[in-house]
Amino acid sequence: MPKVVIAGSMNIDILSTMPRAPRAGETVNGDTVAFMPGGKGLNQAVAAAQQGVEVAFVGRLGQDAFGDQVESFLRSKGIDTGGIVRTTTSPTANAIIFVDKSAENYIVVIPAANAETSPEDAAKLEINAGDVVVSQFEIPRPTIAAVFARARQAGARTVLNAAPALDDAPESLWADTDILVVNETELGHFAGTEVSGDAPVAEVGRVARTLLRRPGQTIIATLGVRGAVAVTAETEFLVPGRPVKAVDTTGAGDCFVGSLCARLSAGDELETAMRYANVAASISVTRIGTGTAMPTADEVRGALAG
């Protein structure tokens, strides 16, 4: 069966909940603090593994206790950690996350070891036709480009979550991306126009289509509670969201991407995989945390059947 290969970031998240985030120069009291595994790459890998598919990871951790915690967590989820390098020149990355009472999040990322991830790190991992190879913009973009070029040569499908919105990706990376996933903010950034959170779906689709670089590509714009819209050169469709009472939206997009890729590797059509991923993401926001909040396949199937 095809597998999901994630080339991406790993952090220890320092997550604090509070009634509201502080303004500049202000100190506020928080409610809770927790140290937990995170990073967009890790979150997506765990989200995929929770759906029962084979997942392999490429990335870098420091030679420190945080690195030990992250690697142990990935192994506990059944993820192949053979592509993880423990570097001596940087510590394990961190993300400092504030979550307020409305479930909005405020995040600062310290890249550290993630910034050292190289194409050579992925060289020993086997990539086969039918695999789904995934990355995000929290590791060096030339590294992602090299991994995607290799994936395309092998006949694998490539999925790029262009987050955060950075402008240093080589043109070859965009061309080698089969499915690009962005939220409204990232979509507006790369399209050079503002896309509001309540923009009509038809307008979102029109803007998304401007990001197409070649025939056969798909752009997916995630729209929060409204769901997600997918466009190709010929088609466009919306998969509606699933309203829930959110307590922490951190990692919801990662849950969507990881779950989407899991179902694509299992052979689902794109629209079916997106519907599944929307439900998975809706479950994740009802829990505090990121990598630790990803739902299982049984939970997602139960929600789909409900």
Whole-structure pTM value: 0.93
Take residue 128 and report the two structure tokens written for it.
Answer: 């086969």
Residue 256, Cβ neighbours under 10 Å: how many? 28
- Would you give the DSSP letter of residue 193? S
Take residue 214 and report the two structure tokens written for it.
Answer: 């070649």
Type of residue found at 146: A
The model's confidence at residue 103, banded by pLDDT at 50, 70 and 90, is confident
- Would you give the DSSP letter of residue 293? G
Q: What is the mean pLDDT of the chain?
A: 94
107 Cβ contact partners less than 8 Å away, ≥ 6 residues apart: 95, 96, 97, 98, 250
Take residue 89 and report the two structure tokens written for it.
Answer: 């020149």
Instruction: Lay out the sheet containing 105-110: strands in order across.
Output: 32-38, 11-17, 93-99, 105-110
Contact yes or no for 98/106 (Cβ under 8 A): yes
Mean pLDDT over residues 94-111, rounded? 90
What burial class does residue 245 get, using C-beta atoms within 10 Å of its C-beta: 0-12 exposed, 13-18 middle, 19+ buried?
A: exposed
Confirm whether 294 is domain-assigned. yes
Confirm whether 135 is domain-assigned. yes
Is residue 52 marked as binding?
A: no
Take residue 134 and report the two structure tokens written for it.
Answer: 């995934």
What are 237-288's pLDDT values in tens digits?
Answer: 999 988 898 888 878 999 999 999 999 999 999 999 999 999 999 999 999 8
Is residue 161 marked as binding?
A: no
Nearest to 94 by CA among 115, 75, 117, 124: 115
Share of the chain above pLDDT 90, in %: 84
Residues in the chain: 306
Contact yes or no for 212/191 (Cβ under 8 A): no
pLDDT at residue 145, as a whole number: 97
Cα atoms in the 13 Å half-sphere on the side-chain side of 72: 8
What are 284-300's pLDDT values in tens digits?
Answer: 999 988 888 899 999 99
Contact yes or no for 171/42 (Cβ under 8 A): no
Cα atoms in the 13 Å half-sphere on the side-chain side of 113: 28
Of the listed ranges 34-43, 112-121, 287-296, the least confidently predicted one is 287-296
Give the SS3 label for residue 238: strand
The model's confidence at residue 184, banded by pLDDT at 50, 70 and 90, is very high
- Would you give the DSSP letter of residue 225? G
* 132-136/157-161 β-pairing: parallel
pLDDT at residue 294, as a whole number: 95
Residue 66: domain span: 4-20+32-305
Mean pLDDT over residues 111-126, rounded? 92
Is residue 40 marked as binding?
A: yes
Candidates 31, 168, 254, 268; catalytic one:
254
Give the SS3 label for residue 49: helix
pLDDT at residue 243, as a whole number: 87
Confirm whether 26 is domain-assigned. no
Confirm whether 27 is domain-assigned. no
The total of structural domains in the chain comes to 1
Sign for the pseudo-dihedral over CA of 149, 92, 296, 16: negative
Mean pLDDT over residues 143-172, rounded? 96
254 is catalytic: yes
**CA dist 178 → 230, 261, 287 (Å):** 12, 12, 31
Take residue 234 and report the two structure tokens written for it.
Answer: 């010929």
Confirm whether 261 is domain-assigned. yes
Is residue 265 marked as binding?
A: no
pLDDT at residue 137, as a whole number: 97
**From CA 50, how far away is CA 232, in angstroms rounded?**
29
Residue 44 in this model has a pLDDT that exceeds 80: yes
Confirm whether 208 is domain-assigned. yes
Is residue 231 marked as binding?
A: no
Confirm whether 301 is domain-assigned. yes
Residue 198 in this model has a pLDDT that exceeds 90: no
The model's confidence at residue 199, banded by pLDDT at 50, 70 and 90, is confident
CATH number of the domain that residue 36 is part of:
3.40.1190.20
Confirm whether 25 is domain-assigned. no
Type of residue found at 63: Q
Residue 306 in this model has a pLDDT that exceeds 80: no
